[in-house]
Amino acid sequence: MFTNRYRIRRTCAPLLMLALAGCGADFNQGAYVDPEYGTTYEFGENGQGRLIGGVPGTPAFTYKVTGDEVITSGDVRLSFKRIDERTLERPDGTRLVLRDDR
């Protein structure tokens, strides 16, 4: 019994650490655009972003990536669902696509 518990702990601990380390690691920073209206959410370095279009001015926000969510705070407070590595979904169902600036 002691041996089984030890094996489980030894196996689960590294897997848990890998899962936690991977949270948000594959998030692509850049400009996510609403293809219908052109509203753009720019996700930059150090968790800083800004909203372009859709509202007056250029509201700034901070963001953090947690699992399959990108959560913003500041002037823009939303929780985006990560659909895939190039698509985010706003709470109203609007999908935003990562703009290719190459």
CA atoms within 13 A on the CB side of 3: 0
Instruction: For residue 14, give both structure tokens.
Output: 């590294």
pLDDT at residue 25 tops 70: no
Read off the pLDDT of each residue in 26-39 and give the average, rounded to a whole number.
Answer: 95
pLDDT for the residue 97: 98
Report the pLDDT value the prediction gives residue 19, as an integer from 0 to 100.
40
68 vs 25, higher pLDDT: 68
The pLDDT score that the predictor gives to residue 26 is 84
> Would you list the domain boundaries of the chain?
25-98
Q: Specify the pLDDT at position 3.
A: 57
Architecture label for domain 25-98: Beta Barrel (2.40)
Please indicate whether residue 39 or residue 21 has the higher confidence score (pLDDT).
Answer: 39
Kindly give the residue spans of alpha helices, DSSP state H, lying in the chain: 2-22
DSSP 45: G
The total number of residues shown for the chain amounts to 102
Tell me which residue of 67, 65, 68 sits closest to 82, measured CA to CA.
68
Q: Is 57 left (phi over 0), alpha (psi -120 to 50) or beta?
A: left
pLDDT digit string, tens, across residues 71-97: 999 999 999 999 999 999 999 999 999
Residue-level pLDDT at 93: 97
C-alpha span between 25 and 94 (Å, rounded): 24
